[in-house]
Amino acid sequence: MSRLLPDTVRLDAENGVLLAIDQSKLPNSLELIALKTPEEIRDAIRALKIRGAPAIGVAAAMGYYLAARNGAYPDTDSLTAALKEAKAVLASSRPTAVNLFWALERMDKAFHKHHAAPVGEITEALLAEAGAIRDEDIAACRAIGEHGVKLLKDGCGVLTHCNAGWLAAVRYGTALAPVYLAHEQGVRLKVFAGETRPLLQGARLTAFELSRAGIDVTLIADNMASRVMRNGWVDAVITGCDRVAANGDVCNKVGTSGLAVLAAYYGIPFYVCAPVSTIDPKTPTGAGIPIEERPGSELTELWYREPMTATNVRTYNPSFDVTPRALITAMVTERGILKPPFGMELFL
């Protein structure tokens, strides 16, 4: 029986907290964390307790609202100062996913639109805006699934990387939304989930959520992708992304560009699923996207009882890489399926 997850992030407005699935505890424990301040939400995002570009954006919007809701502000000036600080704190959580900054800008615009109103009315307006961002995320992911499922046939094999499913958004996800919609429609798929070193989002999260939903999923090590493609088991590669440059280059979890190269070699379509909010018109090409680098300890000791390398070994641990638009067969957004050459239609 299918057991879908609860919303990855949701607002408990009555108690003034953000409730989120603690993804650092999965798959062994499904736990909710309650976060009240922008600092707590920032730290949860940095620690990957909340992760996935859409979920990060929704969490940031809710954090902005909570900064207004949970403070005691005698006047608009004090609220303005607090929200400026909250925005800066939340924006510092991670540098690559553009949804974070997009959501904060929306909240900031909502605040300035109601700046002349009493503090209580401003807070209500921010609650409405955060709720709209959440609802739009759910609708966008569902629409991505409805468009993307048209690319999949009964019995086909799908390879995915990292986690761009339910856990990366509020519901459905991006890359896995077509998989969920196919499952709803009785279309049988076989999903191969790359483990996604070094943080194992594919092993810990994607395999967990798909198996929980009753979807056929097989876990592989990242270096096995070429083998399963050569075996003829993969009919499509589907990934999400954290930022799309204006020219159609996409930035996603490190290892994505390698899969795109392999897919091109084996003649397998490579699809990227992303909401329009992930498109960054201010960044002309993928070369301008900031790439987060994380501690080398994630490579050398995170999953081990003892360090697995000598103490003097240097590490390089980028979280993301950029896949050139030339390797992308199509992009799936909530507005439809886009095919090369990518250009201004990304923003229409």
Give the pairing of strands 9-12 and 320-323.
unpaired
User: Is 235 one of the annotated active-site residues of the chain?
Assistant: no
* Distance, CA of 259 to CA of 79 (rounded, Å): 47
Q: Where are the beta strands (DSSP E) in the chain?
A: 9-12, 17-21, 32-35, 157-160, 190-194, 217-220, 236-239, 243-245, 250-253, 270-273, 279-280, 320-323, 330-333, 336-338
106's CB contacts (< 8 A; 6+ apart) are: 61, 129, 133
Contact call for residues 144 and 333 (beta carbons, < 8 A): yes
Quickly tell me which residue has 């553009």 as its tokens. Answer: 98
Give me the catalytic one of 7, 222, 235, 242.
242
User: What is the length of the chain?
Assistant: 348
* Distance, CA of 57 to CA of 101 (rounded, Å): 7
Helices 76-91/119-148 angle, 10° precision = 30
* Distance, CA of 35 to CA of 12 (rounded, Å): 10
The catalytic site residues sit at 242
